Chain A
Amino acid sequence: MSGQRTALQLVAHQTRFELLAFFRNRQSRFFTVALPIIFLVIFVSVFGNDRLGPRGIKASTYYVPGISALAVIAGSFVNLVISVTAQRETGVLKRRRAAPVPAWVLIAARALTAVVVGLGVMTVLLLLGRFAYGVTLPSRTLVGVVVTAVIGAVAFVCLGFAFTSAIKTEDAAQPMVQAVMLPLYFISGIFIPNVSLPRWLRDVAQVFPVQHLADGLHHAFDPATRGTGIVWSDLGVLALWLAAGLVVALVRFTWTPVAATG
């Protein structure tokens, strides 16, 4: 029992330094924290905050969940892939593995950091939306918001660890991550409602997890939604991607530099 407590203390110890390092990094602060907030401000100013559709939902009530999905992905996938690949290629991960800290503690702490960052930025977006743009807070469907965001964050963490195994050098991480994510953002209703997309593109988006995280959050934020706000079909697809990412990460993730030759 005491051994377990020590392991949890180790996770807390590691997470504390991971968060410290995250906030010291200018790139992380800008791309993961500031950019989603800037996106929200720009989208609301460009497209106005009019009431849309027959039900009169404010435009900001559409953008907050969409950009929230982006924030969760930026924290738990984009930032994780770039930083973990760099740490692997510069020998940081290998040196940590030479210490007696268990591998799962390092993984859990990095995952926890990603989830905390993603959900933290999402909370800021929510508060900004509420107080600056009068977004209706999804109080009745809060369970749906939280469950969808957490499952989404964990799924993208698993996919992030899996994706690092496909990247050989730290320089390739940033372009590869953006090449995968930017098109998905555009076809998954993050920036523009995907009703305006051709049918086949929407079908493509349905395969990938970005669409289902965005859709799940949109639904949970919709003032008209009743019940828990959970969309089980979206959660199901996210869970499948989570499982796939986990399996690939368990098989393919490495601690030692890939590019360097022995």
Chain B
Amino acid sequence: MDDVVISVRGLRKRYGDLDAVAGIDLEVRRGEIFAFLGPNGAGKTTTVEILEGFRERSDGDVRVLGTDPARAGSDWRNRVGTVLQESAPEPGLTVRECMQLYAGYYDAPRDIDETIALVGLQGKEETLGEQLSGGQRRRLDVALGLIGDPELIFLDEPTTGFDPSARRAAWSVIEGLRELGKTVFLTTHYMDEAENLADRIAVIAAGRIVAEGTPQTLGGRAGMAVRISFTLPTGIALTELPLPASSDDGRVAVESERPLADVATLAAWANARGVDLPDLDVRRPSLEDVYLQLTGSLE
């Protein structure tokens, strides 16, 4: 059971008559990058704050590193790193001074220079935190979350507002945490982020877990039909096609269980009719499609 870092059973958080979190179960294992997804107002932040020990729960059993976070003290906080969704740098302190301040809070902190290098802030050590760019501030935040050398790290929307290259850089930092053997609890709005980083994903919507799985299998993604789509050739009616198809604004879609055979059928038919199938696209549903389907039906 030492392998289970986070264990949640029947977690419930009530605000007045509203169940913001309506009885959820979660399990995160050691060394895993676990992505927790959900639309705004779905109970995501409430759940994370309960796990971080910032909020009391109404009901249910929560164990993080074997301890109830609502009752946890300094020993527990020595083992947990928290990168909050929004937190400004320490006012008036340089990057190095911020790191020295936080290093002083922990029993066995990491090396400061090494941690600054890990998040890619070398050369910025003597810069005031307030003078860093948005992306650099976020890296400093991650560095402050790591300075205590935690076993478990909460990353709450770590790349919101990043440009694509800064996001890639942040991903490699998070990949680096996996190599260090850390457990990462990641919340994010970006499906590509979850797909690239996460070992497992859970989706929360309207206070309930609506799906859980790997990026490949989430929400039955692996068994979902592939979508073959193209623009309807001029002079051809939808009913003339060799396969059942639906149309939306001249764009035709065929849901296919056997994409290779169905593409061959369509190609043979088009050749025989002497037409092209413009803008042909064969696509497995993206994680984003699955996510929107899972969360959209509940709104």
Contacts and interface: CB of A to CB of B under 8 A. Distances in A.
Contacts of A90: 86-88
B106 A99 contact: yes
Contact of B148 (A24, A91, A94, A99): A99
Contacts of B76: 100
Interface in B118-165: 128, 141, 144, 148
A101 interface: yes
Interface string A71-103: 000000000000100110011101111111110
Contacts of B86: 90-91, 257, 260
Report the interface size class on chain A: 20 to 34
B223 interface: no
A83 to B, nearest CB: 7
Given A91-B84, A91-B86, A99 B91 contact: no
A165 interface: no
Contacts of B75: 100
Interface stretch (A15-23, A135-143, A171-179, A209-217): A15-23
A101 B100 CA distance: 14
A96 B73 CA distance: 14
Given A98-B77, A100-B106, A21 B93 contact: yes
B106 A17 contact: no
Contacts, number: 79
A25 interface: yes
A91 B144 CA distance: 13
A91 B49 contact: no
B74 interface: yes
A13 interface: yes
A100 B49 contact: no
A92 B105 CA distance: 14
B92 A21 contact: yes
A10 interface: yes
Nearest to B81: A98
Given A25-B91, A92-B88, A262 B77 contact: no
B91 A101 contact: no
Interface in B65-91: 73-78, 80, 82, 84, 86-91
A256 interface: yes
A91 B88 CA distance: 6
Given A22-B92, A92-B91, A98 B52 contact: yes
A84 to B, nearest CB: 11
Contacts of A96: 105
B278 to A, nearest CB: 48
A102 B74 contact: yes
Nearest to A83: B91
B77 A10 contact: no
B101 interface: yes
A99 B77 contact: yes
Contact of B144 (A13, A20, A95, A256): A95
Contacts of B87: 90-92, 94-95
Given A94-B84, A260-B86, A100 B92 contact: no
Contacts of A97: 54
Contacts of B54: 94, 97-98, 256
Contacts of B106: 99-100
Contacts of B104: 10, 13-14
A262 B15 CA distance: 12
B281 interface: no
B74 A20 contact: no
Contact of A95 (B78, B82, B92): B82
A17 B99 CA distance: 11
A17 B74 contact: no
B46 A262 contact: yes
Contact of B84 (A14, A95, A102): A95
Contacts of A260: 86
Contacts of B128: 24
A10 B106 CA distance: 10
B91 A87 contact: yes
Interface string B34-58: 0000000000011001001010000
Contact of A21 (B84, B90, B102): B90
Interface of B: 45-46, 49, 52, 54, 73-78, 80, 82, 84, 86-93, 97, 100-102, 104-107, 128, 141, 144, 148
- Ranked 10 nearest A-B pairs via Cβ: A91-B87, A21-B92, A90-B88, A98-B82, A24-B92, A100-B77, A100-B74, A99-B105, A101-B105, A95-B87
Given A17-B93, A83-B91, 8 more contacts: A10-B104, A20-B92, A21-B92, A86-B91, A90-B87, A99-B148, A100-B74, A102-B74
16 contacts: A10-B105, A14-B101, A17-B90, A17-B101, A21-B90, A21-B92, A91-B84, A91-B88, A95-B84, A97-B54, A98-B52, A100-B77, A100-B105, A102-B74, A256-B54, A257-B86
